[in-house]
Structure 1
Amino acid sequence: HVVREDRGVLELLTADYTYLNGRLAGHYGIPNVQGSHFRPVTYPAGSPRGGLLGQGSILTLTSHAIRTSPVLRGKWILNNILGTPPPDPPPNIPALDDRQTQLRVGTMRERMSAHRDNPVCAACHAMIDPAGFALEGFDAIGRSRVVDEYYNRLDTSGVLPDGTVFDGAAELRAALVARPERFVGTVTEKMMTYALGRGLDYYDMPAVRRIVREAASDGYGMQSIIVGIVNSYPFLYRRSES
C-alpha cells in the first residue's frame, strides 16, 4: 500500500491503520470486522498499535515460543529501524531461567538484570533492551496486554542511546520518527541491496545519503526513494570484482 500509493516511508512506522480480516481483528481485539476478506481498518483511538511496531507478525517473530523477548525485539529495531545492528553475543551466556521456583516470578526486566549487570554484556544490552521493553505491552503472539504472564505490572519505559526518554510503544515510535533520516536511510539501504543484488559497502554510502537528502523535499515519498536508487551511481555502474 505504501509503495502503490506513493506514501511517505515514515508511514511504515506511523500508520494508524492496518489490513485485517475477521480472524485477525479478533486477535487484535478490534470489533465489528467480519469475514475472511482483508480490508483497511483504522485503529481505535488510544490503541497502542501503529505501523510496523504494532504488527502481530513482527511481534511474534521477535518472541520465543512461550514468552516475549525484549532482546529479540530490541535487536530487530536496531537492525531494521535504526540500521545499527549490535554485535553477536559472547559465547556461553546462559539463557534466562523461566521456571517458577518461587511464589513470585520476577518481571522480564528483573529477570534480565543478570545480563545487564554482567560487564561483558552490559554495553550491548544498554542499547538493545530499552526498545525491546517498550514493546512489552504486547505478548508473545502480538496481543495487547497490561500485565505479563505472571500478572506482574509492565514497565515499558526506557531511554534510547541518544538520551531520549519514552514509555511504551507509542512514545518509542515518536522518538524514532523524530529523526527520520535514520529510518529512511535504513529502508534505502535495504532497497538498494535488493536492487543491486549484493550487500552494500562503504563506497555505496554517499549514494544512500544523497538519496535520503533529496527525498526529504518530497516527504520521503517511496517513489522518490526508488527513483533515487535507479538513478544512483552504484545502480548504473557495476564495479568490477578487482
Structure 2
Amino acid sequence: MKMVVSKRASRRIAVSLSAFIPALFAGCAFDSIEPGAPEPTTATAEPGPAPTRIVAARRLTESQYRSAIKDVFGADVVVNVRFEPEVRSDSLLAIGADAASISANGFESYFAAARSISRQALAEQNRSRVVTCALASVPADMRTDRCLKQIVTDLGTRLFRRPIDAQALATRITLAADVAEQTGKVDSGLEATMASLLTAPDFLFRVERAETVPGAADTWTLDPYSRAARISFLLWDAPPDKELLAAAKSRDLMTEAGLKAQVDRLLASPRVEQGVRAFFTDYLQLDRFDGLTKDVAQYPKFSPAVAAAAREQTLRVVLAQVMREGGDFREIFTTRDTFIERSLGAIYRVPYAAKTTDEWVPYTFDEASGHSGILTQVAFNSLFSHPARSSPTKRGVAVNEIFRCVIVPQPPADVDLSTLSSAANTGKTVRDRLIFHRSEPMCSGCHMLTDPAGLALEHFDGIGQHRLTENGAVIDVSSDFFGSHIVGARGLGHFLRDDPSVPACLVNRLRSFDTGRAPASEDQAAVDAMVQAFIADGFNVVRAMARIAASPASFTVPASHTSSTEGEAS
C-alpha cells in the first residue's frame, strides 16, 4: 500500500516499529503460527476528496490507553501494563508524546497486556460487548465467517479511531483462522486477532492524517477522523465514541456547523471533567509524583498515600474553580477553599471529621493561616523541593515556566553549588544561604529571575507544612518580583492572578496540549485571538477548550510538518 508520509512522522513510526516486529508473537501460546510481520500502517481513511498524508504519530498516554480499553471493552476489564516513561518536552507531556517511541521491552509489556485484555473481553461477563453476532462454531468456517469480519471491522474502527482498511482486515481474518485451526478453538483465533489490533501502531499511537484544503493545494488540514480524535482526546481524554466516528465518516466534521455540533455534544457530557483533569495533570506537572521521594527522617508524615492525596487535592481545587458556571481560572492562585482527607489533615494541622478514613471533605483555611491558592498546597511545595528541604529556586523555576511560560536557562555545567552548604555560608535560613550563593557572578542572573517567587513560599517546608521559622530564625517572605513588591504566598498569588502573561501562557499550553506541538510562527495570529477570547470569556478554561476544539485553525498543519516522502509507510 502506497502512502504519503511526512518525513517527521515517518521517522517517528520507524523508530517505534523497530521494536514491534521481532516481539510481536514472542512467548505466545500460538507462537508456532506465522502470521507475517504487522503492517506498519494498518488503517487509512476512507476514499475522500483528497489524498491524505500522515503528519504526526503521538504515543497514547497511560490515561488515554486506559480510557480506550474501558470504552471498547468495559470497566470490568483490568489493565495491567508497565507503561514506559512519558517524555516531557516544552513543559508538556502532550508535546513529548510526539517524540516518544516504544522499546522492545515496552512492546512486550503492551503485548502481554493485549493478550490479557483479549482474554478478559471474551469472558462470559464481558463477551457481549465484543461478540455481537453468531460467531462460527468451528475453526474451519472462520475464513469466510461474516460475524468474524463484522467483529474485526467494528473493533478495528473503535481501536484505530478510523475504519480499518481491507488489507489489514484480511490479515486479521487470516490470523484468526490460522490460530483457531492450530489450537482447535475459535476463541483462541479471535483472541489472537484482538491482541494484534491492540498492539498495532494505529492503536498505540494517535496517527494523524491531513488532506489538502480545496482550492489551496499547499495548505493541509487534518482529515475528519483525525479531527474526531483531537476533539475527543481534548474534551474527554478518551477516543471518539460511535457518534463522533459517524460524524467523521459523513465528513460533517469538515464543516464549522458539524464541528460545533459535536463539540457542544461532548461538552454537555460529565466526561468533560476527565478532559480538564488530564490537561491540568500535565500543565501542573503532577506526574512528577510518580518518582517523588522524601527523606523519611526529615518528613516522617510523607508517604505514597500522602503523595496520591496531594495530587488529588490540587485537581479537586482546580476543578471546583474552572468547572463551575463562570469559573475564573485565576482564582486557583488565591482561593482559600480546598478539600482534605485524613493524611492531608495531619500535614495541614487542621481538624478532620469524616465518616471514613478516605473520605474527602471541603475545608476553608482561615485568613491568618497563610494558605492561599494551589501554590500553598502539599502538591506544589513537595514536588518542587529537595528530598530533605525546601527549594526557593526550584519553586521559582516552576512558577516562571509553568504559569508564565518564561523558560529559565539551565545552570552552567561548572557552577559551584558547594557555597550553599559550605562552612563559610553561615546563613540559618535558605534565603540567607542563597544570598551568599548569589554573590558568585555566574549565579546571580538566573537566581534574580527564580528566587523572588520561591522565597515568597518559604513559609512552607519541603512537603508543604506551614512554618514561620527555620533553624530558629524568622523567615522573611518578602521579595521584589518583576517590578512588584510581594509578601508571602498571598502576595505571589495575587501577582499571578493579575499578571497578563499567565492567561496567555495558559492558552498556549492548552493549544499545545491539543495539537501535540509548540506553536509555529504561522499559528501566532490564531493563538493571539484565542488569548483575547479567553480574557473576554472571563478566563473560563472550559470555554477555551471548546473554542480550540471547534476552531478550524486548530486543525491546520504547519508547513514544517508536511514535508513528505512517498513510499511504504514504515
Return the TM-score normalized by structure 2: 0.40
Please state whether the residue corresponding to 1:216 is helix, strand or coil.
helix
Which residue number corresponds to residue 558 of structure 2?
239
Q: What amino acid is aligned across from residue 547 of structure 2 in structure 1? A: G
C-alpha deviations, 1:216-239, integer Å up to 9, x for none? 222111122112222445412222
Which residue number corresponds to residue 188 of structure 1?
507
Cα 1:21/1:235, change in 2 over 3 Å: same
Please state whether the residue corresponding to 1:136 is helix, strand or coil.
coil
Cα 1:45/1:232, change in 2 over 3 Å: same
Which residue number corresponds to residue 517 of structure 2?
198
**Contact (CA 8 Å) 1:62, 1:69: kept in 2 or not?**
yes
Which of 334, 344, 358 is matched with 1:14 structurally?
Answer: 334
C-alpha deviations, 1:51-92, integer Å up to 9, x for none? 221121110011101111110000000011111121111112
Cα 1:121/1:224, change in 2 over 3 Å: same
Using the TM superposition, give the Cα deviation of residue 5 of structure 1 relative to its aligned residue in structure 2, in angstroms.
2.5
Structure with greater contact order relative to length (CA < 8 Å, sep ≥ 6): 1
Alignment of 1:44-193 (within 5 A): 44-96=366-418, 101=423, 105-148=427-470, 150-161=471-482, 163-179=483-499, 181-193=500-512
Which of 531, 555, 558 is matched with 1:212 structurally?
Answer: 531
Q: What amino acid is aligned across from residue 335 of structure 2 in structure 1? A: A
Using the TM superposition, give the Cα deviation of residue 209 of structure 1 relative to its aligned residue in structure 2, in angstroms.
2.2
After alignment, is 131-140 or 12-21 more displaced? 12-21
Using the TM superposition, give the Cα deviation of residue 212 of structure 1 relative to its aligned residue in structure 2, in angstroms.
1.9
Q: What amino acid is aligned across from residue 152 of structure 1 in structure 2? A: A
Give the distance between the partners of 2:353 and 2:488, measured in 1 at CA.
26
**Contact (CA 8 Å) 2:392, 2:458: kept in 1 or not?**
yes
Using the TM superposition, give the Cα deviation of residue 174 of structure 1 relative to its aligned residue in structure 2, in angstroms.
1.1
Structure 2 regions of 5+ residues with no counterpart? 1-318, 564-570
Cα 1:96/1:112, change in 2 over 3 Å: farther
**Contact (CA 8 Å) 1:96, 1:111: kept in 2 or not?**
no
Give the distance between the partners of 1:98 and 1:90, measured in 2 at CA.
16
Please state whether the residue corresponding to 1:10 is helix, strand or coil.
helix
Please state whether the residue corresponding to 2:476 is helix, strand or coil.
coil
Using the TM superposition, give the Cα deviation of residue 215 of structure 1 relative to its aligned residue in structure 2, in angstroms.
2.1
C-alpha deviations, 1:26-57, integer Å up to 9, x for none? 21122143432113222223222222211211
**Contact (CA 8 Å) 2:382, 2:462: kept in 1 or not?**
yes
Q: What amino acid is aligned across from residue 164 of structure 1 in structure 2? A: S
Please state whether the residue corresponding to 1:46 is helix, strand or coil.
helix
Q: What amino acid is aligned across from residue 9 of structure 1 in structure 2? A: F
Cα 1:77/1:96, change in 2 over 3 Å: farther
Using the TM superposition, give the Cα deviation of residue 129 of structure 1 relative to its aligned residue in structure 2, in angstroms.
0.6
Please state whether the residue corresponding to 2:362 is helix, strand or coil.
strand
1:223 aligns with 2:545: no
Q: What amino acid is aligned across from residue 337 of structure 2 in structure 1? A: Y
Bigger Cα Rg? 2
Using the TM superposition, give the Cα deviation of residue 96 of structure 1 relative to its aligned residue in structure 2, in angstroms.
4.6
RMSD: 2.2
After alignment, is 223-232 or 121-130 more displaced? 223-232
Give the distance between the partners of 2:363 and 2:519, measured in 1 at CA.
37
Pick the structure with more helix per residue. 2
**Contact (CA 8 Å) 2:530, 2:544: kept in 1 or not?**
yes
Q: What amino acid is aligned across from residue 188 of structure 1 in structure 2? A: V
Using the TM superposition, give the Cα deviation of residue 98 of structure 1 relative to its aligned residue in structure 2, in angstroms.
6.3
Q: What amino acid is aligned across from residue 13 of structure 1 in structure 2? A: F
Which of 321, 324, 334 is matched with 1:5 structurally?
Answer: 324
After alignment, is 79-88 or 202-211 more displaced? 202-211
Give the distance between the partners of 1:48 and 1:96, measured in 2 at CA.
32
Q: What amino acid is aligned across from residue 476 of structure 2 in structure 1? A: D
Cα 1:48/1:217, change in 2 over 3 Å: same
Identity of paired residues, percent?
A: 26
Cα 1:96/1:78, change in 2 over 3 Å: farther
Number of positions where the alignment pairs a residue of Structure 1 with one of Structure 2: 239
Using the TM superposition, give the Cα deviation of residue 97 of structure 1 relative to its aligned residue in structure 2, in angstroms.
5.5
Please state whether the residue corresponding to 1:207 is helix, strand or coil.
helix
**Contact (CA 8 Å) 1:96, 1:112: kept in 2 or not?**
no
**Contact (CA 8 Å) 2:391, 2:454: kept in 1 or not?**
yes
Give the distance between the partners of 1:105 and 1:124, measured in 2 at CA.
20
C-alpha deviations, 1:128-175, integer Å up to 9, x for none? 110010000000110000011x122101110012x1001111011112
C-alpha deviations, 1:1-43, integer Å up to 9, x for none? 2443252111221222112112212211221434321132222
Cα 1:55/1:234, change in 2 over 3 Å: farther
1:33 aligns with 2:353: yes
Cα 1:232/1:94, change in 2 over 3 Å: farther
Q: What amino acid is aligned across from residue 400 of structure 2 in structure 1? A: L
Give the distance between the partners of 1:237 and 1:101, measured in 2 at CA.
58
Give the distance between the partners of 1:53 and 1:231, measured in 2 at CA.
32
Please state whether the residue corresponding to 2:339 is helix, strand or coil.
strand
